[in-house]
């Protein structure tokens, strides 16, 4: 099993009434470090991939996985020469990217995110597609600076542009571009190697995630290192390959929607079966994925 899938399955197990959480040994989890630029690393353990940049003017962090991992994360950052993050950007509101927020906020980290991330984190919520209930974060875990379109950080000689992509994975996604280093954190716009979860319930859409992929591709060149929300660090070519898959799926499903096909009919037709071998081995089988994305698909004109 791919290790980035586990937290999701654990959560599903909890909501299904099985107390797998208690049996989950956070102590056995360790971070994998991948250098992606000068003093910039991707950190991977469980949950969404993290980016960290360290330097004299402070540590800059993108996403923070789960609360029980914060200590390990801080230890890891220390090994890289950094300290408690000065800034943390949340790429979106999901619990596998924001679980460490309360710990870090309490430690003095300034949390920054899109306006809608703060809104969603402020109240108890629910992810129906995954049957997961989500508790509101305490005040210290909420973003203290929010933006509607974009913002930039000027730190350690780097310019880090953080910009919103609309109705993509959620309605509050941000992409983080380390301009000098030529590194991009795509958030959950990119699931490298498999069908992405799209949080249609909270404003995500297949068309939006496709458009956001296009935006990232336009910023990248052959040398760009792109950190996906889930899966291994990849290249522009790999993102193009993913974009092509999304585009094919959108075209196929839009045509079926236009014909007035119901979800049940679409599932029975197996319209994306040819893609399953390559993309269906991650979070979702194509059946489950179709269920998630089809209802939110807009009827093409
Ligand atoms: Zn997500």
Ligand 1 midpoint to CA 182 (Å) = 23
How would you write the chain as a 3-class SS string?
CCCCCHHHHHHHHHHCCCCHHHHCCHHHCCCEEEEEECCEEEEECCCCCEEEECCCCCCEEECCCCHHHHHHHHHHHHHCCCCCCCEEECCCCCHHHHCCHHHHHHCCCEEEEEHHHHHHHHCCEEEHHHCEEECCCCHHHCCCEEECCEEEEEECCEEEEEEEECCCCCCCEEEEEECCCCEEECHHHCECCCCCCCCHHHCCCHHHHHHHHHHHHHHCCCCCEEECCECCCECHHHHHHHHHHHHHHHHHHHHHHHCCCCHHHHHHHCCCHHHHHHHCCCCCCHHHHHHHHHCCCCCCC
pLDDT tops 90 at residue 179: yes
Angle (CA) 285-254-239 rounded to 5° is: 60
Confidence check: pLDDT of 13 > 70: no
Per-residue pLDDT band for 298 (boundaries 50, 70, 90) equals confident
If you measure from the C-alpha of residue 293 to the centroid of ligand 1, how many angstroms do you get, rounded to a whole number?
A: 14
Q: What is the distance in A from the centroid of ligand 1 to the CA of 170? A: 8
Residue 95 located in a structural domain = yes
Distance 172 CA to ligand 1 centre (A): 10
Buried b / exposed e over 122-147, threshold 16 CB at 10 Å, is eeebebebbebebeebeebbbbeebb
pLDDT band of 281, cuts 50, 70, 90: confident
259 C-alpha to ligand 1 centroid (Å)? 31
- pLDDT reading at 94 higher than 80: yes
Q: How far is the CA of 291 from the centre of ligand 1 (A)?
A: 17
Domain enclosing residue 162, as ranges: 31-251
Q: Which is more confidently placed, 26 or 191? A: 191
Of all residues in the chain, what percent carry a pLDDT higher than 90? 84
Q: What is the mean pLDDT of residues 214-229?
A: 98
Work out the pLDDT band at 137, boundaries 50, 70, 90: very high
Instruction: Assess if residue 212 is contained within a domain.
Output: yes
Average pLDDT, the chain: 91
Q: Which residue has the higher pLDDT, 126 or 8?
A: 126
CA of 92 to the centre of ligand 1 (A): 7
Average pLDDT over residues 200-225: 97
pLDDT > 70 fraction of the chain, expressed in percent and rounded: 91
What is the whole-number distance in angstroms between the Cα of residue 296 and the centre of ligand 1? 17
Q: Does residue 15 have a pLDDT over 60? A: no
pLDDT at 3 over 80: no
Give mean pLDDT, residues 6-20.
42
Q: What is the pLDDT of residues 58-77, one digit of tens each?
A: 999 999 999 999 999 999 99
- pLDDT for 16: 36
pLDDT at 31 over 70: yes
pLDDT score at 23: 55
| Structure confidence at residue 297 (pLDDT) | 85
Q: The domain that contains 56 carries what CATH number?
A: 3.60.15.10
Instruction: Give the model's pLDDT for residue 117.
Output: 98
Report the separation in Å between the CA atom of 196 and the middle of ligand 1, taken as the mean of its atom positions. 9
Q: What's the pLDDT at 286?
A: 87
What is the distance in A from the centroid of ligand 1 to the CA of 144? 21
Domain count, the chain: 1
What pLDDT is recorded for position 83?
Answer: 98
CA distance 295 to 301: 17
- What backbone phi and psi angles, to 5 degrees, belong to 233? -55, 140
Separation of 56 CA from ligand 1 center, angstroms? 31
Residue 300 confidence (pLDDT): 58
pLDDT at 27 over 70: yes
- Domain assignment present for residue 90? The answer is yes
Environment of ion ligand 1 (residues, CB < 5 A) = 94, 188
Indicate whether 1 pLDDT > 70. no
The answer as to whether 118 is a domain residue is yes
Among the listed ranges 122-131, 148-157, 228-237, which one has the minimum average pLDDT value? 122-131
pTM confidence score = 0.92
């Amino acid at each position: 099993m791919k290790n980035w899938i586990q937290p999701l399955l654990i959560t599903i197990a909890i909501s299904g009434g099985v107390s797998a959480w208690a049996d989950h040994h956070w102590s056995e989890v360790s971070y994998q470090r991948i250098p992606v630029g000068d003093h910039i690393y991707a950190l991977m353990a469980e949950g969404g991939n993290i980016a960290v940049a360290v330097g004299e003017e402070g540590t800059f962090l993108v996403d923070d996985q789960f609360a029980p991992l914060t200590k390990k994360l801080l230890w890891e950052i220390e090994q890289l020469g950094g300290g408690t993050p000065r800034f943390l950007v949340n790429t979106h509101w999901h619990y596998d990217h924001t679980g460490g927020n309360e710990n870090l906020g309490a430690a003095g980290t300034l949390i920054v995110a899109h306006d809608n991330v703060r809104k969603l984190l402020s109240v108890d919520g629910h992810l129906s597609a995954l049957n997961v209930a989500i508790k509101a974060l305490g005040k210290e875990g909420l973003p203290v600076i929010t933006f509607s379109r974009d913002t930039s950080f000027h730190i350690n000689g780097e310019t880090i542009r953080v910009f919103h992509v609309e109705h993509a994975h959620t309605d509050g996604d941000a992409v983080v571009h380390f301009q000098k280093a030529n590194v991009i954190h795509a958030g959950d716009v990119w699931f490298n190697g498999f069908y992405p979860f799209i949080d249609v319930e909270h404003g995500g859409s297949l068309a939006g995630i496709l458009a956001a992929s296009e935006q990232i591709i336009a910023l990248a060149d052959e040398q760009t290192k792109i950190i996906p929300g889930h899966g291994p660090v990849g290249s522009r070519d790999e993102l193009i390959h993913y974009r092509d898959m999304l585009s094919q799926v959108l075209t196929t499903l839009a045509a079926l929607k236009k014909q007035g096909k119901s979800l049940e009919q679409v599932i029975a037709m197996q319209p994306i079966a040819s893609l399953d071998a390559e993309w269906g081995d991650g979070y979702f089988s194509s059946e489950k994925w179709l269920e998630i994305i089809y209802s939110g698909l807009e009827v093409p004109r």
